[in-house]
Structures are given as structure tokens and as C-alpha cells.
Chains A and B, each alone.
Chain A
Amino acid sequence: MMSYQPAVQTEKPQASARGRMAALLSLLCAGLGQLYNRQWIKGLILLAVEAAAVPFFASKLGHAVWGIWTLGETKRNIGKKIMGDNSTILLIDGLIVLLLFALFLLVYVLNIKDAYKVGSQIEAGRKPNSFIQSLAYIRDNKFAEAFLVIPGIGVLFLTVMPIIFMIMLAFTNFSAPNHLPPASLVDWVGFDTFKKLVTLKTWSHTFYGVFIWTIIWAVLSTVTTYFGGFLVALIIQQSDIKLKGLWRTILILPYAIPQMISLLVMRNLFNGQFGPINQYLGYFGLGRVPWLTDPMWAKATVIIVNMWVGIPVSMLLIMGILTTIPKDMYEAAEVDGASMWQKFRIVTLPMVLFSTGPILITQFAGNINNFNAIFLLTDGNPVKGDYQYAGATDLLVTWLYKLTLNQNQYAFASAIGIIIFILVASISIYNYRRTRSFREEDMIQ
């Protein structure tokens, strides 16, 4: 490994009486060991942390565990003026307290380790670092860890906590109409929601239907945009095509327009009654096409519109790669008398596929979660009568959205979220393992 090593290697502290004493003091109360080691500022800061944390956790921790365990015990009763417990808020508050507690424990462990290390160093005859020196030490040798604390905490509370919360919801019965806080309580139900999703007729029919369409959509939308972009890139990159820059600039326009706008505009373009597309078809004597209102047509429309949105990105990527293919490979093929098609098949295609393979898989995974394309264009419609709150073009992810925000079916939505996650995660992990940069990154440099 050629990674940067700190200039001053701190030797492993020897087991020492002073170190053990300092560690013991720090175990008793954070900061005491540091004070004992004559690191006053550090010690006082840790003492302050302890003084703030102990009363906080003493009052909150028990309630948090109780809240998560029971999800509340008293039901709201307006007549008797009982406010009752709010299960979801209990769950979130509990999670936050537990996460804070985990952070506190981490600080505590570090505090003990630090006291032990410094104590041992003192016994070995070295002066303890002053506060300024400690800061410099962090800047020079612990930079990454110290800095990552900021995004780490942000991600912990704004991303990880919500995800844990949603995962937990999948194992409760939190849903309309009978289990909606604050009016009523929510209970843990184990794997019931998942079982219902695959066995209960109303749910399973929708689930399988939407699931299959999600996969078909992901495959078709990825393949069409990829090869569409490939074709455009090949045509522009022909040596005798003029005005390459102009073509490229025009053709990446869809990429520059925010999807939210372009898709809402498309929705109007394809409007069956008043939209211009049907109007033009009328000029050619063709009948109106139910672009967005017939299940099959709607599916075709989302794929076509997605090509409009997605081809520019593939085009840009592939154009970049085409320019990196060494010219002599083509020359060698020409010497061997290869036709244009053969040159493409033997040189271009393998080279491009090889370099873009990982992106292709990433795009596939991304398309499983392609919320915008469906939501803004068709809103999942046309409605299917035998579906549970879903339409013909709904993907799992848009169905999840409807279940959460319109139908209050939180438990089912969370279960679907977990299923989407497993799907996307397994594809991505497979992809990631295959990509060399992960395993060999230290060898490249």
C-alpha cells in the first residue's frame, strides 16, 4: 500500500500503571483521566460532555426503549380527555435517543482509550500534548476521520435514521384506516405485511403486476436509451460528417432542460384530445392515438419519451469513449479487409461495451427507481380497476409514493421500499464487485 503514512509513528503504549489509572478514571467519568494526565482543556470539555449527557440520557433512555418496544400503550380517548400515545413519534424519538446514545458511547470509549494512551506515554517519560498540539495532531494525522464527522452526523440523522424508521415501519401495522396515529395505536406485527403482499389476492395481484412492469420498463428503457445514444454517437463521429459540434450541441438539449419541465410539457404534447401530436396525425389522415389513456399505448409512450430524455447522456458518454479508441486498431482492421460492419463489431462494440458496462448496469438500477419519468408523465395512469391503488404504468417506486402520500398505507409502502432496495442493492453490489476500481484502486496509483 502506498498510502500516506503519518510522519511520526506513535509506538504502541506499553501496559503501564499510570495508563491504567487514567483509563479507570475516565471510565468512572469522562474527562477525569485527561485531567489526571494534566490535559486540562481536553479534560474539561469531556467533563462538560458527561455533565450534559448523563442527566439527558437518565431521563430519556428508559422512555425511548419503552417507546420502541411497545409503540405506546394508552389509546387516545377524547371523551375522557386522554391524549394517548403517538406511536410514530414514540418510534422516531426513541430512535433519535438511541442513536445519540450510541454516539455518546463512542465518545466515551475514545475518551478511555485516549486517557490510557496518554497516561502510558507520560510514564514512558514523554510530555503530554498541549491542547494546541492535539489539534495539530488531528489536522495532520486524523484529518479524514475528524472531517468525516460533519457529513457523518448529517447523514446519520437525515438519511440513516429515516431509513431505519421506514424499515421498522414495514414490521408494524401502521396504515389507514385502523392504525393511524394519533387517533389510534400501532403495533408490531412481524412479517405480516410481507406475507399479505405476496399472498392476499388484492395486494399480490397488484404487486406482481407492478413488479413485472418495473423490470420490463427497466430493461427496455436502459436498452433503448443506450443503443439509441450509441447510434447517434456513431453517426456524428463518422470522419466525414461536418459540423460535429453543432449536432452535438443541439442533441444534448434534452439533457439541459430540467426533467420536471420537459416531462410535464411532454404530457401536454401527447394529450389525446388537444395535444399537437394527435393534431398532426389528423393532418395525415390518421386517427387519434390514446397516448396516455390506453394501458399499452401509455407504456409505449413512457418508453419513447424516456428515450428523448435519456439518449443525450448515453450519446455524450459513448462519444467520449469513441474518441479514445486508438486509430491504429481501425487501420489494422482495414488492412485485413474488414468491412464497416466488421470494424464496428470487432473493434467499436467490444471497446465501448467494455468501458461502459458498469454504467449500463448503474443505469438499469437507476431506471428501476426512475420516479420522474413515470410520475410526471402519466402519474402511473391509466388506472387499472383490479389494482390496489396503482395504474398500468406505475413502477414499484411510484406505487410506493402513492401508498405513502395519498393512501396512508405506510406499512405496505415500507415493505415495497425494502423490496426495491434489495433489488437495486443486489444489482449494484454485483456491478460494484465486477468493477476493478474497487478491488485494485490502490494498485492503479
Chain B
Amino acid sequence: MMSINPRLVEVRQNVLKQNDLLARRLRYRFREAGVYVISLVSSPGAGKTALLERLLTELRQSIRVAALVGDLATDNDAARLARSQAPVRQIVTGTVCHLEAAMVESALDGWSLEELDLLFIENVGNLVCPSSYDLGEDLRLVMMSVTEGEDKPLKYPTIFNTADVAVITKVDLAEAVEFDLAEAYQSIQRVRPGMRVFEVSSKTGDGMSGLIRFLTSQMVEGVKATAG
């Protein structure tokens, strides 16, 4: 079966080169347009859509904000987010468990990015696959809800490691589910030393102002850095 004389040739190619190239192009395009891009990743049901609805509703009072939302099969999330009255577009991924740069690019078709200050990209609920794909975002925000357990970061170290900031959601339920915040912080710091962590409740609004202040300051710095 084996060949008589196979030889080894060096090639050196990043398997995700295609995606990475596209992501780089997107990042350039976002910078040119002066729009800051934040992606959200979490497991299904951690509250990405609820958080995003809050963020869009509050942020659109002062800045021009929009969202792209990835979903496997429905447009329920986009319909929910439309209530915020910010522009929202749905990316239905079919059976694909993550967003790729190409999906983001085609979803942007016909949108004038120059009219935006901030764009959110909500990934498909999944803590594994999205970690490998750069979407051209400036900031990746990973979420975990108090109902998922304190050790989530230890179970999914890769996604926490590729993210820039962590948000613990549903803190209004923390007591009921006996969530140990100190332990959760410890888990996050173990897999990503120095990571910024926020605690919020999208239901009560607790912690939202701190998170919004942080995100907008990141946006201002990001845009300034580009302009400078």
C-alpha cells in the first residue's frame, strides 16, 4: 500500500489562513470606517441576547450602535434585539457551530459602516468552536452565567484565553444557586491571569453601568489609537 519512496516537502501553511486573511481585511475595514467591534461568546443560554438587548438599548441613547447575531436556525434573537431599535442583522449559520469571518463579511453587505460607532457580533452559543476563528473584532467578550457553575473557565480554558474580558451574568440568581463569586474569579484568573471581570444582571440592570463605561472607554481608546 505505502509508496516506495515518499519524500517530505516543507509547506508551512496556517490551516485557517483563509479565515485569518479575511479577518485581517475586516479589521482594516472596521478601522477605516471608525467603527469599534466587540464580539460576544458564551455557552447557549448564558444570556448573550439579554445582555446585548440591554447594551443596545442603553448605548443607542448616546452612540450609533448595531449588532450582527449568529444563530443556528432561527431569527428569534434578531427579533428580540430589534426591540432595542438599533439596527440588527441575523446570520443564520445552518449547522455550523461558530461564526467565520466570511459570514460576517457577507452579513455586512450594503451596510455603511461609516454610520456606526460600535458594532456587536453575537457568536453562536458555543464555548469550543468559536475560539479558533478571528472575526476581525477589536475586543472579545466571554460570558458565563451563575447557573453554569464556577469552574466553567477551567473546562473551557481556550475560549477564556482568546477573550479579552469576562462577564459573569445573571448575578441576580447568584444567591439562589449558591454561586461562589470568589471561586469563579479564581477560575478565571487561573486560565487567564489579569483578565478584567464584570458582574451583571441583564434583568435588574445591576452592574450594567460599569460594563458600559468600560466598553465605551475601550471604544474611545481603540478609535483614538487608529486615528493617531
Q: Do A and B bind each other?
A: no
